[in-house]
Every structure is written in C-alpha cells, then in structure tokens.
Structure 1
C-alpha cells in the first residue's frame, strides 16, 4: 500500500499543500482558520498520514534529537528521568538519546563525531556543567538537571527542592527525639549532595550531635562505612540520615550485623524513594523525588530554549515518606 503524502491530504481536504504544511507543523495560528486546521488534522488521521521527518529535518537543518547525559545507568532515578524526558520529546516529534558518561560525574566525552550535526541540544542530569565541555561545543543548547544553578553555561536549569527534602528529614527525626545523628554522605563530589549536607547542618538544633561519614554509592560501600561508624557502642548515633536509598540499604545491613534493631535501636532514612525503599524490611523512611517530572521539565525547558523562549520554573517539590525504618529515639 502506498504511503499517503501531504499532497494526498491536501487533495482530500480541498486545501493547498502549503496549508497542510502549516497545520501539521503547528504554524497555522493567525494564518489558517481553526475550522480548516481541524479539517486538515482529521483528514490526515483518516488517511493515516505520517510526516516524513527525515525530509523535514533536512529542510529545517535540525535533527529533532536531544542527548540526555547521566552519570550511570544503574541508578533507577536516571531511568525515570529518561522516561519523563522521552514522553515530552515524543509529543513534539523529538527523540532522546541516553548517554551514560564513561567517567560518572566527571568529564563526558563526545559520543558523536559532530554533536552539532547530530543533536539539537543536551540535557544533563546531576552533572557538573564543566564536565560537558567536550559535548557539542559552546553553541549547543544545554539544560542542566539537579545541578548548581549559578555555574556553567546552561541555558536553563531544572532542580528539585533538595534542601527542603533534607529539612523534612531532619525535622522528622528531631520530633522523634533524636539528638545523636550520623550523616552517611555520598562520596561523590557533586552539587546535589553538597546541598543536602548544607541543609542538614542548617536545620539541626543547637544541642544535636552530628557526625558525617562518606561512603561510595553502593550497598557494600555503605555497609562497610556504617559498620566502622557504629563500632563503638558508647558513642553510637540513634539515627542515620543517608544521602540515598542505596546508602540506607547498606546502613540497614550493617545495623543487623551488629545486632541492632531498626527502628527500636537505630532509625535510618534515605533519599530518592527508589523501588528499593519498599523492598527492604522494615520499609524505608525516605524523601520521594519525582524523577519523571524532572525529565519532563528538562525536555520542556530545552524545547523552550530552541524556540528562543526564556524558561524559568520554581524548584520541583519533594515529599518525605515516613515508613517503619524510623521511630522514637531509644532511651539512654
């Protein structure tokens, strides 16, 4: 069966090919009546017409492709970011190429012989802006997700309310009576973890003891670091605030190995609300980060930049999800 063309749509609708192009390119406002636009769209749907994107891109000089750079594919958060970005991209005839940086949050090498020819823009999640210099040169539009809004050459930023998430965690534990807290911090040097550490310090009460231990972002790395931190019973914390659910899972394993009950002897909190948070026992108190919403806003921001429209938005709210891994501080 021959694939219908724009000429076929024009003939069936009784309009010119130029009108079909305007309507299907969403450039008809003020130039074609709404009634005619509806007729063209209905006719195209009836005929099963699909625009030849390759030919259109050659005419426009664009690829309708965005690159999403993430530190790793093993973290569920970044998979959700991609899902959100791809959803918005598809609604606008764009594709999204997912690229894990070979060096994590460090410098990302250009995956293309010529990014400028292969891409319309770059979205980078939880990366430093200066880690992206090799991709696309200075003229390729860049949207940064979960990153320092004051740094780099980004045309737009999309951030979560990370500081508020840590505030919610801290106030939750203080309300439960905890005054000796261990911060199990990610060993990854990045803005998103720095913000969490700053917020934690800001919201503690004057008589609260805080100790910080850094750990690799793995379950085993977190378990090892936590076991060392809990080795001396006389100065053990009553609660552990973890930068990530993965770290929290490692902290819980360490507690069990030391014979500590959660939450009766030790409360543990996470960050992200990954599937892991409800897979552990007891289920994890954690901060829910709407990662798909981050991806959606990131792609929306890139589309706005490509259209020459300024884009700003408030930080995306996050929510503490109390579960069974936290409880009242144990009696001294």
Structure 2
C-alpha cells in the first residue's frame, strides 16, 4: 500500500511516472489516456500503470480535457426513471464510463413516458456524445445534425443519423413467447400492445404477428401503466365471442394490469387465462403467480452503449450485433382451459 503523502508534499507528475517506468512522457499520456493499443506493448502499458499507482499519480483531468477539447461527459436520454429497465441501463453505462474517467448525465422525460424536451440549449458545448433510447428519440431534435456522436439503444438500425446502434434481439423474444404458448396449446390470443409509439414496440408486434399467423390473435392497445392495462385487458376478456386463452403483453407493467383484470373478472391465472410479459423487471416476481416473461440484459445495454460511444470518440468502429434475450417460464402461463 502506498504511503500517504505528507501535507505540503509535491504531487507526482507524468514526468515522475515516465522516469519510474523507464518510458517517455508521451508513452505515459498514451497509456493513461487509454490510447496505447497498437502503439505500445501490453507489458509497457502495465509498467506505466504500476508506476502511476505506486507513485499515487492522478492526472490533471481538467488540463487534459482542455487540450483535447473534451468535457468527458455523455448524455443518456431515457423516457423515464420510474421504469426499472432504464435505471439499470444507466447503471451499466455509468459503470463503463467510470472506468474511462467519463461522467454520465441522465435526462429522463419530465412526463414519464413519451418524448422529452430539449435536454440542453447548448448541448454541443456541454457534451462529448449522446446515448439515447428509441422511446425518447423526440428529445434529440436539437442534437441531430450537430457534430455530437449519437448512439441509439433499441432502435431502428437503418437510422443513418446515429453513429452506432445497440440493439436487443427483441423479435426473437416475441418468437420465444409465441412458441411457448403455441406449444402449450393456445390458439386464441390477445396481444396487449403498448400505445406508446416506438420502434421497439413495432418490432414486437411484427414478430408476434408473424409467429402467430396461423392462429387467432387480436391486438388491443393500452397505455404503459397498470390501471390502463387492466381496463384494456378487461375489455379484451369480456368482448363478444370466445374468450382468449392467453394475453401476450408488451412489457411486465402491462402484464401486471392483465393479471389484475383477470382476478377482477373471477378468472384464474393460468388455469383460465395465461399471461406473459416482457423485460423481466422486479415486478415479474412480485405478482402472484410470478410472470412468464422475456429477460432483457438491461445493464449490458448501457454498458455496450457507453462502449460504443467511446469507440466512436476514439475513431474506432463500434461492435455490432443484437444482444440475446431469454424467455423465463414461470407460473403465469399454462395450458388453455378445456373446452
């Protein structure tokens, strides 16, 4: 363990680190600025890191950022912090950012869901880049067209205005739900769809419709809250004609409302009607029975979003490819009731 410096002692400089590691100050700057790959060896980089740690060296970030013309700050735009998924996205982004001496400013929509207002009047001067959910894309009007790199999360990959995309394999998640319910014997289903316009919900709807093309499926839209979902599910379950045997919900909040509707109508879940969710929030195991749902790696989304932004800022090509999702089968799904 390094001995603390006595009061008034001179702070070690990059020259001290270079001398201790037996390298140039330029090499110290490359290593501590995380720009050494392809320029110096791993052994040299580790030697510099060890020397810096041993001396207790801390770079003058303010001076370095001034030289680079950077604030080392990223903006994360999400629709709401009341949704656990986006809180976990922030955790993942902030974890990666901290390892690179970056800060993450979080901007949620003031209205909870839907478009957010312009985050900053002078975003160009305040930020190095932006990471944004497709559900809050309307907040980016003032940012698009500037030289700020934009990384979009869970969004249309054909959007040429973004420098990088980090997507989940949402379509596969809905296919897994459909295959699960079809395998149980369900042939009359309702898609309880989010009424919030968003690319991610459009993908869910298209994938579900394709997977259920040979059976009866009806779409009912609901706001993204439990009470709105309950009312929509009650209407679907009491509509004229044969009652649906399964409700496929766009997320766990809608699924919680659907379960509530079933109970109010005297129906049992899953004996009378199965319910599935999407996201695998904490809510999924708080309801009874626990929800069958699709688990999304929310923290990984944030981590990959920040990693992609750092790559763009360094002039490197960010990784691409969808993150896998997993169906988690619990007690809210079962075979349909006998005729």
TM range (shorter): over 0.9
The match for 2:313 is 306
Structure 2 CA distance, aligned partners of 1:83 and 1:249? 25
User: Which shifted more, 155-164 or 8-17?
Assistant: 8-17
Post-superposition shift, 1:90? 1.5
* Contact kept in structure 1, 2:186 and 2:246, CA below 8 Å: yes
Q: Aligned pair count?
A: 331
Structure 2 CA distance, aligned partners of 1:309 and 1:33? 19
Q: Do structure 1's residue 90 and structure 2's residue 78 form an aligned pair? A: no
The match for 1:292 is 299
The match for 2:118 is 110
The match for 1:25 is 33
The match for 2:199 is 191
Compared with structure 1, are the counterparts of its residues 149 and 26 closer, same or farther at alpha carbon in structure 2 (3 Å cutoff)? Answer: closer
Post-superposition shift, 1:88? 1.4
Partner of residue 54 from structure 1, selected from 55, 62, 73: 62
- Runs of 5+ in structure 1 lacking a partner? none
Q: CA RMSD in A?
A: 2.1
The match for 1:157 is 165
Partner of residue 211 from structure 1, selected from 205, 218, 221: 218
Compared with structure 1, are the counterparts of its residues 146 and 105 closer, same or farther at alpha carbon in structure 2 (3 Å cutoff)? Answer: farther
The match for 1:200 is 208
Q: TM-score, normalised by structure 2?
A: 0.91
Structure 1 CA distance, aligned partners of 2:156 and 2:37? 38
The match for 2:336 is 329
Structure 2 CA distance, aligned partners of 1:252 and 1:65? 42
The match for 1:170 is 178
Post-superposition shift, 1:129? 4.6
Q: Do structure 1's residue 67 and structure 2's residue 75 form an aligned pair? A: yes
Q: Secondary structure at the match of 1:324?
A: coil
Structure 2 CA distance, aligned partners of 1:198 and 1:275? 27
Q: TM-score, normalised by structure 1?
A: 0.92
Post-superposition shift, 1:51? 1.1
Q: Do structure 1's residue 124 and structure 2's residue 121 form an aligned pair? A: no
The match for 1:80 is 88
Report Cα offsets for 1:294-331 as digits up to 9, x if no partner: 11111111111112222341111111001010001111
Structure 1 CA distance, aligned partners of 2:42 and 2:320? 31
Q: Secondary structure at the match of 2:333?
A: coil
Compared with structure 1, are the counterparts of its residues 308 and 18 closer, same or farther at alpha carbon in structure 2 (3 Å cutoff)? Answer: closer
Q: Secondary structure at the match of 2:15?
A: helix
- Runs of 5+ in structure 2 lacking a partner? 1-6
User: Which shifted more, 285-294 or 130-139?
Assistant: 130-139
Post-superposition shift, 1:31? 6.0
